[in-house]
Amino acid sequence: MPMPVTIKTPEEIEKMRIAGHLAADVLYMIRPYIVPGITTEELNNICHEYITNTQQAIPAPLNYHGFPRSICTSVNYVVCHGIPNKKQLKKGDIINVDVTVIKDGYHGDTSKMFFVGEPSTIAKRITQISYECMCIGIEMIKPGVYLGDIGYAIQTHAENNNYSIVREFCGHGIGRFFHEDPQVLHYGTPGTQLRLEEGMIFTIEPMVNVGKRHVKILSDNWTVVTKDHSLSAQWEHTVLVTRDGFEVLTIRPGDNY
Ligand code: MF3
Ligand code: CO
Ligand code: CO
């Protein structure tokens, strides 16, 4: 159901700054807990408690189209939308934790990769390249740029490193609603799709696979995995288009992006 792309008012932008800051703070808070032996369900419970009690905010994933937990946890060959469960993390795993909070009616959405113990060379590399893909996309944002320009740059960086971009899931406008227009594809053709304007807010969240781009959904109807079971990594920020560039609304303390 396409909705017009909204231009946020200064009042809405201020609320999005607050929601974005809270989402980022959850990722900052959870970092020391990500160690061998902890389960993703325990991570979920710590985040849920922190969001609802400390932040007095709402975890947006919980009951969103029936999603059963408060965060998404996607381990190794899980691409996205992993459901926290009773399985323990082990040394060498990589995990994406994706947090979306609602505060005062507005959403902040961000995710990052974590290493559990010492990562393998390939785990480090897919994590790094997916991070660079997100950064390249973010740094292009300014009025007049086309979403197709951004998608093309992200895709090119992944493919130049012999990795692939997942096509079935994309970034999205965000605000009063979790997923608004536009769709922000992480692949594409320069000069096509939406032309950016000051006041738009959307996410960039490339999913990058070591192997082929194809994915499948498990029988829980949520968990997205690589078809070839190759490692996958993803990073996500919520970003505002400003008069002459961009403002990342989900920066964590001490991190660049
Ligand atoms: N946070 C995800 C995104 O970046 C969406 C998760 S939907 C859920 O768009 F239902 F799985 F939580
Ligand atoms: Co998102
Ligand atoms: Co997200």
The pLDDT assigned to 252 comes to 98
Residue type, 184: V
Distance 222 CA to ligand 1 centre (A): 10
The pLDDT assigned to 147 comes to 98
With respect to residue 29, please indicate whether it lies within any of the assigned structural domains.
yes
The pLDDT assigned to 4 comes to 81
The pLDDT assigned to 3 comes to 73
- CA nearest neighbour of 135 among 241, 199, 206: 206
The model's pTM: 0.98
What does the block give as tokens for 14?
């201020």
Q: pLDDT tens digits for 13-60?
A: 999 999 999 999 999 999 999 999 999 999 999 999 999 999 999 999
The pLDDT assigned to 2 comes to 66
The residue whose CB lies within 8 Å of the most ligand 1 atoms, and thus the one to mutate among 47, 65, 80, is: 80
CATH at residue 99: 3.90.230.10
The pLDDT assigned to 63 comes to 98
| Number of domains composing the chain | 1
What does the block give as tokens for 208?
């990058």
Distance 170 CA to ligand 2 centre (A): 8
The pLDDT assigned to 95 comes to 99
With respect to residue 255, please indicate whether it lies within any of the assigned structural domains.
no
Ligand 1 atom having least distance to the Cα of 178: 9
pLDDT < 70 positions in the chain: 1-2
Ligand 1 atom having least distance to the Cα of 65: 10
- CA angle at 216 for the pair 212 and 220, rounded to the nearest 5°: 150
With respect to residue 5, please indicate whether it lies within any of the assigned structural domains.
no
Ligand 1, atom 12, lies closest to the CA of: 61
Handedness of CA 143, 144, 148, 150 (dihedral sign): negative
The pLDDT assigned to 1 comes to 64
Ligand 1 atom having least distance to the Cα of 179: 9
237 is in an annotated binding site: no
Alpha carbons within 13 angstroms on the beta-carbon side of residue 95 total: 33
With respect to residue 253, please indicate whether it lies within any of the assigned structural domains.
no
Residues in a beta bridge with 215: 226
With respect to residue 2, please indicate whether it lies within any of the assigned structural domains.
no
With respect to residue 254, please indicate whether it lies within any of the assigned structural domains.
no
With respect to residue 3, please indicate whether it lies within any of the assigned structural domains.
no
Helix (H, G, I), strand (E, B) or coil at 196: coil
User: Which domain, by its residues, includes 69?
Assistant: 10-248
Of the listed ligands, the closest to the CA of 84 is 1
Question: What is the spatial order of strands in the sheet that 171-173 belongs to?
Answer: 180-184, 171-173, 201-204, 237-241, 246-248
With respect to residue 43, please indicate whether it lies within any of the assigned structural domains.
yes
Residue 102 Cβ < 6 Å to ligand 1:
no
